[in-house]
Amino acid sequence: MLVKFKSAAIAGVASLVVAGVLVASPVMAQDKTFSESHIAAARAAVKATKSIESFDNILPDVAERTRTLFIRSNPAMSAEIDVAVNESAVELIPRRKELNYVIYEVWARRFSEEQLNEIATFYNSETGKRMADLSRTLTALTIGAAKQWSDVISTDMVSLSRRKLDALSAQ
């Protein structure tokens, strides 16, 4: 049973590693380097816009998936699995800065240092802070409005097309 557990665990971890390498490869393949001040400007812009906060759940989510994977393979060891996964998650917390740096580079590739400073200045203003605070809500409401409009247009398209087809068949 322990061998089966280890095999499933190794396979699961290996698939996570392979997926991570495949996702990270295009990002790491770009070799442009940036000055410290350009990265600092990107960091300031990213933090001011609160763009990085949405990734705070990655480590807890990965820990939960890992826990589920191991417990599914060996439910009798769930207490030990909880301890091992929790300890591993705590050990991995310092690696969050790797993701942050990649995100800063993504922004630095797309904006000049001057533009990043302007973005940070705006988002550190009262209006910018409000926009950063409301951005998730605004995005959700905007997507909801687009979905509702799409549903209405879809219904109207079917009705209009049906009337046109009925008119054609009446001829």
Rounded to 5 degrees, what are φ and ψ at 30? -80, 120
pLDDT-derived band at 32 (thresholds 50, 70, 90) equals confident
**Amino acid type, 107:** W
**Stretch 26-36: mean pLDDT, rounded?**
69
Indicate whether 145 pLDDT > 50: yes
Q: What is the pLDDT of residue 171?
A: 87
pLDDT tens figures, 35-75: 999 999 999 999 999 999 999 999 999 999 999 999 999 99
In this predicted structure, the answer to whether residue 122 has a pLDDT above a threshold of 90 is yes
Cα Rg of the chain (Å, integer): 24
Per-residue pLDDT for 151 more than 50? yes
Residue 30 pLDDT class (50, 70, 90 cuts): low
**How many beta carbons lie within 10 A of that of residue 81, not counting itself?**
22
Q: Can you give the pLDDT at residue 5?
A: 45
Mean pLDDT of the chain: 88
**Residue ranges in the chain assigned as alpha helix (H):** 2-29, 36-49, 58-73, 78-92, 96-110, 113-123, 126-170
The predicted pLDDT at position 25 comes to 42
